[in-house]
Structure 1
Amino acid sequence: MYLRHLQVGQFRSWEAVDLALTPGPTVLVGRNGQGKTNLVEAVGYLATLGSHRVSSDAPLVRHGATQAVVRAALRRDDRELLVEVEINPGRANRVRVNRAPLPRPRELLGLVRTVLFAPEDLALVRGDPAERRRFLDDLLVSRTPRLAGVRSDYDRVLKQRNALLKTARLARGNALATLDVWDGHLTELGGQLLAARLALIADLAPYVAESYAGVAGPGADRAALGYSSSVPLAGDGAPVDPARALPGAEELAAALRERVAERRKDEVDRGVTLVGPHRDDLVLHLGPAPAKGYASHGESWSFALAVKLACFALLRAEGDDPILVLDDVFAELDSGRRAALAEVARSAEQTLITAAVAEDVPAVLLGTRVQVADGEARILPGEPAEHSAAEEAGVDRG
């Protein structure tokens, strides 16, 4: 899988850009603040319908504009697809594939798959549980797109249930009767989400251990994953055993239902849902201790990198290579970590790299180079490019 052409309009700092792309590594070079990250952020939006930098769509639309557009020609096996997203803050976004509108934007998920490694990923090790939950669920959806509906429905039910809990103390009779209905929805959807997360962690854990060993070198502690849940059946944070049988969605829903009933009084008193996947955490282990709070700065970088390399390996093993996006990370890495990352990056079908200076990027990855400066993204003379016009990619300017 690779992008053959990318076009954005009114996205972040870009009024318009029209860029031909090729398989293999492409390095976007330019000073900080010129818009390199904005371009790979646009690619990521096609994959996740969200940004790795902000939680809402509004900052993605250029100041003074009402709408941003991201279009790309995607090559997948022997097929070529034209995908387009209109980002409309405050209104419904619109998505088209081969110029045909999709009924719901989330139907695009899974069509473009990316694995992004950026400086922000250090938060996977050092940040709050919400960072790790979001990482897990984004990977879930990339792997199994139908889970986007489960995730969205769970978030909707959670919001409604929390609103009801806030009023329950003032109108106990009717409110608590209605709460039983929402409990059913919450536990059913929560059981599905928990089962999917546990299966993902079990599949990902061996890749993380292998990747960390490769990045950190001989003698390093072993990296492992665990899951800490408000539902004891789902996990107590200990390292997972990939060979162990996992509870199913129905079993987890029943356990969640029982736990919700136990915490009902506390939830009514506090006006918030205290049990469910939204309260859980992915636990990263390094040797005998959790990585958070114990790992050094270098170990934290190695773990964050290993997690992303593991994601790439897992998705590659299950289908097409995802597009690997490396956003301004080589300047942060020492020679050993650079080499480990470069080895994977050079093997990917397509890698998009941003850097302030080309010298930060290992020589084996200096394929196509794009100069990003003064509102333009220009392929440097003599660099390979399959196509140079939007029309060749089937991308119009409308």
Structure 2
Amino acid sequence: MYVAHLTLVDFRSYASAEVELGPGATAFIGRNGQGKTNLVEAIDYLSRLSSHRVGSEAPLVRAGADRSLVRAAVVRDGRTATLEVELLPGASNRAKVNRSPLPRARELLGLVRTVLFSPEDLALVKGDPSERRRFLDDLLVLRAPRMAGVRSDYDRILKQRNSLLRTAGAARRGSSSQEAALSTLAVWNDHLARTGAELLAARLALVDALAPYVGKAYETVARGASRDDARIAYRSSFPLAPEGEPAPQDRDELAGLILAELERRRDDELDRGVTLVGPHRDDLLCTLGSGDLALPVKGYASHGESWSFALALRLASYDLLRADGDDPILILDDVFAELDTTRRDQLAALVADAEQVLVTAAVDGDVPEVLSGVRYRVEGGEVRRDG
């Protein structure tokens, strides 16, 4: 799979841009602020329908414009498809495949797959649990696009339930509508448990599948490490099984566990007006070391170890997607400037055989020789091919 052509209209700093691409390595070279990251961000957006840099669409639309457009010709198994998304801040985005409109933009998901490395990846191990939940859910959707609908449904149910908890909490403090609010809350408990169990089961299975690849990747990028040094485990907001036993992955069983915990925490939730149980409060536990010596990466690992673990998570994602039978597009956004020479060369060697690798860098010297290929100069919003 690779992108053969990229078209941008009013995306970020570009009023318009047309870029020819192909298999192998392509590097975009330019000083900071010249627009090189905007190019690869657009391709990644087609894959995930979200940005790795911002949480909303508004910053993706060029100042003064009311919408932007990203279009890419994607080659897969020798066949070319044109994917297009029109970003409309404050409204639903519109998408097309081969110029034919799709009922919903999220039906684009799964048609192109990317794995993106960026300096922001350090937040995967040093940031809040929300960063790691997003990492898991993005990978879930890449492997099974229908999970985008499950995640959207869960977010909607959670929002409704939180609103009802605030109403019920106020009712408990003196309003006459307490009984009606609590009756409605029971209905939303069922919705939350059922949808939450589906998301939770998928995450648990994903972590099981991903874990061996994380250890292998860390061994490769961290000097002197073994594959048993880096581990990941799913941490639920409440115990899913007795200590030392694997968590169940049956959705009905998980739904029952969530319902029981919701009932147990009901008074706490009414007091605080927020849902305290469910996948939205879970975390991915990342540890270094083995046995009793294993310690969380967050708070204990050095800067270099943290970087190596973050790289291992991305490499593991790439390897897992390849094992599924796809060769995702690799995007290395200003990563090499953050790495020492050893890690730089190791990462480059690991990804050099990908069908398509897109690299951004401030200077030519930041791009390892093994990734020498087509190079573009990016300056002042202009993209010019070398040679």
C-alpha spacing 1:28/1:199, structure 2 compared with 1 (3 Å): same
Note if contact 1:194-1:234 (Cα within 8 Å) is conserved in structure 2.
Answer: no
The residue that corresponds to 1:370 in the other structure is 376
- 1:1-398 matches, within 5 Å, as 1-171=1-171, 172-219=178-225, 222-233=229-240, 246-287=248-289, 288-381=294-387
- How far is 1:78 from its partner? 2.1
- How far is 1:370 from its partner? 0.6
Distance 2:281 2:365 in 1: 43
Distance 1:153 1:283 in 2: 25
C-alpha spacing 1:235/1:144, structure 2 compared with 1 (3 Å): farther
Note if contact 2:141-2:148 (Cα within 8 Å) is conserved in structure 1.
Answer: yes
Note if contact 1:372-1:378 (Cα within 8 Å) is conserved in structure 2.
Answer: yes
- How far is 1:378 from its partner? 1.3
Q: Structure 2: which amino acid aligns with 1:315?
A: L
The residue that corresponds to 1:388 in the other structure is none
Note if contact 2:221-2:343 (Cα within 8 Å) is conserved in structure 1.
Answer: yes
The number of residues matched between the two structures is 376
**1:297-335 residue CA offsets vs partner (Å, 9 max, x unmatched):** 000010001110110000011022100000001011112
- How far is 1:52 from its partner? 0.4
RMSD (Å), alpha carbons? 1.4
Distance 2:41 2:368 in 1: 22
Note if contact 1:24-1:348 (Cα within 8 Å) is conserved in structure 2.
Answer: yes
- How far is 1:245 from its partner? 7.6
Distance 1:292 1:175 in 2: 40
Between 248-257 and 321-330, the greater mean CA deviation after superposition: 248-257
Note if contact 1:69-1:84 (Cα within 8 Å) is conserved in structure 2.
Answer: yes
- How far is 1:50 from its partner? 0.4
2:240 partner SS = helix
Identity %: 62
Distance 2:334 2:211 in 1: 26
**1:200-242 residue CA offsets vs partner (Å, 9 max, x unmatched):** 0000000000000111132457000011111311797x8xx9x
**1:115-154 residue CA offsets vs partner (Å, 9 max, x unmatched):** 0000000001100001001111001001111111100000
Distance 1:269 1:280 in 2: 21
Note if contact 2:241-2:247 (Cα within 8 Å) is conserved in structure 1.
Answer: no
C-alpha spacing 1:48/1:28, structure 2 compared with 1 (3 Å): same
- How far is 1:246 from its partner? 4.3
Note if contact 2:118-2:333 (Cα within 8 Å) is conserved in structure 1.
Answer: yes
Distance 2:6 2:242 in 1: 42
- How far is 1:375 from its partner? 1.6
Moved over 2 A (4+): 217-221, 244-247
Distance 1:37 1:219 in 2: 32
C-alpha spacing 1:233/1:46, structure 2 compared with 1 (3 Å): same
Note if contact 2:8-2:69 (Cα within 8 Å) is conserved in structure 1.
Answer: yes
**1:27-84 residue CA offsets vs partner (Å, 9 max, x unmatched):** 0000110001111110111000000011111111011000000000000002110000
**1:170-215 residue CA offsets vs partner (Å, 9 max, x unmatched):** 3311111111111111000000011000000000000000000111
2:263 partner SS = helix
Note if contact 1:224-1:286 (Cα within 8 Å) is conserved in structure 2.
Answer: yes
Distance 1:227 1:235 in 2: 14
Unaligned ranges ≥5, structure 2? 172-177
Note if contact 1:228-1:235 (Cα within 8 Å) is conserved in structure 2.
Answer: no
1:62 partner SS = coil
C-alpha spacing 1:234/1:291, structure 2 compared with 1 (3 Å): farther
Distance 2:258 2:60 in 1: 37
Distance 2:34 2:335 in 1: 17
Task: Name the TM-score, length of structure 2 as normaliser.
Answer: 0.95
Note if contact 2:83-2:96 (Cα within 8 Å) is conserved in structure 1.
Answer: yes
2:53 partner SS = coil
Between 200-209 and 170-179, the greater mean CA deviation after superposition: 170-179
**1:243-269 residue CA offsets vs partner (Å, 9 max, x unmatched):** x68421111111011101101111011
2:137 partner SS = helix
2:275 partner SS = coil
